[in-house]
């Protein structure tokens, strides 16, 4: 275990010991004593491209009362990307991991500080243990509660210790099934919260977020510039795969071949917010009561970006919906997002997003489907093309976007 400042950075699951967990938790839970830790092992779902997610239970006491915490430690694993692709720039890997660390350690506390005070919020029901002493504070609407996030400067291994959402009944959709209308409503609600809070924070600070947080991934970031050739190569291969799946779509394929993947990293003059940047199925966890979806959390914040809100929304639709939801329920879902965005913004001074109408949102959504399609194709290595995607892209083509 390597030590940076006060709390050590574990290099593997073997370093997750009671004394270390106690250090991690004491900042948020003063007076807690951890007596035992049960490491369950990796619970990484999906591809797990950058990190090992190690689940563990911590037992202890606080104020004379027994305590139980279900947690995960997310540890950088530089070998993981190479199990999926032949090459993956280590600099880009480090940038992504440290971006998530900075997001949780720097941005999240400030985002939540501009939210409605917790005493005024309607608390959501918690799964399992109903004792507030044993549950994370109800201050993380759209993401898991994070107790500790840091990077070891010598090994560049990052750790994030978070609540175990799976232990609370959250999970990703099995077998990459598309999200239903109701699940999409929950997902856009989570996006509206992070978008709205980040805009509030920007208005109050009086400076663009990339000036406040120099770790936010931008188009000029050296790691992004270095990855440009890789993006182009991956996109071209994806178009070839799409052409093999749908050889009769000659005109559409010709149009797709002409698209430039670098459109995704161009600067944009429109109002921007803090975006998740990778809203696809494996990064969205849904909680259900029986068959009814009741809550959603966004995970994996390694590609946090500063972009217009519709950058997240287009990828969310293109990577996570079937034809029926995209075609028949898109307007209702976008309207719900717009309502939750305005609700999250609250009575702040008039600004770009405060005056953002639903019709403007819908128009931006259609325009941003062009980079959205490119981004969807970059996900084709894990989300193969199917008839749903074909029909969705055909509709986007009818809009004159492609």
Same domain, 204 and 304: yes
Same domain, 268 and 246: yes
Same domain, 42 and 113: yes
- How far apart are alpha carbons 354 and 351 in whole angstroms? 5
pLDDT of 4 > 50? The answer is no
Q: Quick one: CA torsion of 86, 247, 322, 271, rounded to 10 degrees?
A: 70
Q: What is the pLDDT of residues 48-71, one digit of tens each?
A: 678 999 999 999 999 999 999 999
Entry pTM: 0.91
Comparing 349 with 312, which gets the higher pLDDT?
Answer: 312
pLDDT of 261 > 90? The answer is no
Question: What 8-state DSSP symbol labels residue 172?
Answer: P
Q: Which residue segment(s) compose the domain that 98 sits in?
A: 2-167
- Which range among 134-138, 267-271, 287-291 shows the weakest confidence by mean pLDDT? 134-138
The DSSP code sequence of 64-124 is TEEEEEEEEEEEE-TTGGGGTSS---HHHHHHHHHHHHHIIIIIHHHHHHTSPPGGGSPPP
Domain boundary among 136, 167, 198: 167
Residue 143: C-alpha distances to residues 199, 213, 298, 379 (Å): 17, 19, 5, 22
Same domain, 173 and 114: no
Same domain, 95 and 215: no
**Both tokens of residue 220?**
């000029």
**Percent of the chain that is helix, strand, coil (3-state, to 5):** 45, 20, 35
Domain boundary among 167, 199, 231: 167
Confidence band, pLDDT 50/70/90 cuts, at residue 197? very high
- CATH of residue 182's domain is 3.90.1200
Q: What is the pLDDT of residues 99-127, one digit of tens each?
A: 999 999 999 999 999 886 543 444 444 33
Query: 358-378 vs 387-398: helix axis angle to the nearest 10?
Result: 130
Domain boundary among 167, 201, 234: 167
- How far apart are alpha carbons 125 and 132 in whole angstroms? 11
Same domain, 126 and 196: no
Same domain, 103 and 197: no
Same domain, 345 and 370: yes
Counted domains in the chain: 2
Same domain, 143 and 253: no
Same domain, 205 and 59: no
pLDDT of residue 45: 56
84-94 average pLDDT score: 77
């Amino acid at each position: 275990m390597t030590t940076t400042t006060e709390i050590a950075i574990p290099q593997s699951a073997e370093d997750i010991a009671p004394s270390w967990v106690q250090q991690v938790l004491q900042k948020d839970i003063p007076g807690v004593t951890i007596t035992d830790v049960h490491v369950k092992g990796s619970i990484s779902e999906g591809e797990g491209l950058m990190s090992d997610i190690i689940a563990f239970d911590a037992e202890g006491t606080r104020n004379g009362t027994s305590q139980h915490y279900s947690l995960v430690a997310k540890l950088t694993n530089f070998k993981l990307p190479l199990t999926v692709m032949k090459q993956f720039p280590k600099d880009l890997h480090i940038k992504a991991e440290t971006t998530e660390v900075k997001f949780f350690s720097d941005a999240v506390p400030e985002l939540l500080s501009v939210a409605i005070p917790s005493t005024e919020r309607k608390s959501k029901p918690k799964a399992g243990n109903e004792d507030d002493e044993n549950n994370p504070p109800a201050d993380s609407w759209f993401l898991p509660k994070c107790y500790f996030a840091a990077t070891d400067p010598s090994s560049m291994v990052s750790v994030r210790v978070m609540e175990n959402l799976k232990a609370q009944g959250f999970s990703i959709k099995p077998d990459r099934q598309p999200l239903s209308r109701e699940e999409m409503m929950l997902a856009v609600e989570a996006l509206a919260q992070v978008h709205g809070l980040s805009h509030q924070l920007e208005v109050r600070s009086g400076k663009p977020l990339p000036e406040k947080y120099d770790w936010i991934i931008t188009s000029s970031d050296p790691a992004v510039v270095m990855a440009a050739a890789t993006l182009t190569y991956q996109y071209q291969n994806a178009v070839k795969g799409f052409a093999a799946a749908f050889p009769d779509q000659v005109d559409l394929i010709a149009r797709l071949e002409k698209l430039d993947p670098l459109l995704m990293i161009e600067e944009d003059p429109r109002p921007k917010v803090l975006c998740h940047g990778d809203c696809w199925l494996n990064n969205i966890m849904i909680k259900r009561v029986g068959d009814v979806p009741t809550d959603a959390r966004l995970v994996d914040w390694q590609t946090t970006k500063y972009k217009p809100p519709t950058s997240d929304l287009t990828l969310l639709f293109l990577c996570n919906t079937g034809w029926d939801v995209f075609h028949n329920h898109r307007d209702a879902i976008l309207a719900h997002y717009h309502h939750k965005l305005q609700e999250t913004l609250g009575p702040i001074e008039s600004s770009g997003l405060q005056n953002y109408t639903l019709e403007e949102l819908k128009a931006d959504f259609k325009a941003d489907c062009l980079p959205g399609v490119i981004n969807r194709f970059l996900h084709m290595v894990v989300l193969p093309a199917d008839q749903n995607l074909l029909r969705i892209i055909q509709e986007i083509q009818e809009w004159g976007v492609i």
